[in-house]
Chain A
Amino acid sequence: SAVISQKPSRDICQRGTSLTIQCQVDSQVTMMFWYRQQPGQSLTLIATANQGSEATYESGFVIDKFPISRPNLTFSTLTVSNMSPEDSSIYLCSVERGPENIQYFGAGTRLSVL
């Protein structure tokens, strides 16, 4: 398995501001992923983050809104920029690990935008 720590665990923010979410893994991984889970909904992949290269964004998500950093093999950040109430969601970090490439998730960051 993998130990994944996300900070903050929750936050309440004002519209127009930005929040940076941190994800720390207990050992080196090649690929880290960021998902969004809107209230009562399923998980949607925002982007894939590889160390040393720009993140790859899924359709409907753009770098200006969700900039991602991946400075090393155990850490990544996701910033939610210029927030609006529609950005209120759970943001989840995940990593792929092991010979079977199983994906493990952090506990998530619960974001409310007023």
Chain B
Amino acid sequence: GENVEQHPSTLSVQEGDSAVIKCTYSDSASNYFPWYKQELGKGPQLIIDIRSNVGEKKDQRIAVTLNKTAKHFSLHITETQPEDSAVYFCAASMITSYGKLTFGQGTILTVHP
């Protein structure tokens, strides 16, 4: 089955800096890669996703890149703010697998004011 590795496990940055979180996956058939943000006491919320027919996607301060050949994808957050502090999870699935997401281990991002 699919295996997703996520790094780093913790990331500490100063407000205004950029943050990068990286994930690798094992199943070359995976073609959908969402990123979720989980704040304390809440469920995960989708912040951005990318599909295998696209190499990069941006939404304001957030971007995701995908390298299918190398089987890795990354989350980039620019101009970080304290409210970006949370746990971030990457995931992978096949679109036809009816929602079977395999999650990475999570990254605790702390943005210091």
Q: A residues engaging B (CB < 8 A)?
A: 4, 31, 33, 41-45, 48, 59, 92, 94, 96, 101-108
B98, A31: Cβ atoms closer than 8 Å = yes
B-chain residues with CB within 8 Å of residue A94 when the two chains form the complex: 43, 99
Report the Cα distance A47→B55, complex, angstroms: 31
A-chain residues with CB within 8 Å of residue B81 when the two chains form the complex: none
A48, B99: Cβ atoms closer than 8 Å = yes
Chain B, residues 96-108, CB within 8 Å of chain A (1/0): the string is 0011111111100
A-chain residues with CB within 8 Å of residue B104 when the two chains form the complex: 42
Chain B, residues 20-62, CB within 8 Å of chain A (1/0): the string is 0000000000000010100001111110010000000000000
A107, B103: Cβ atoms closer than 8 Å = no
Report the Cα distance A59→B100, complex, angstroms: 13
A101, B95: Cβ atoms closer than 8 Å = yes
A31, B43: Cβ atoms closer than 8 Å = no
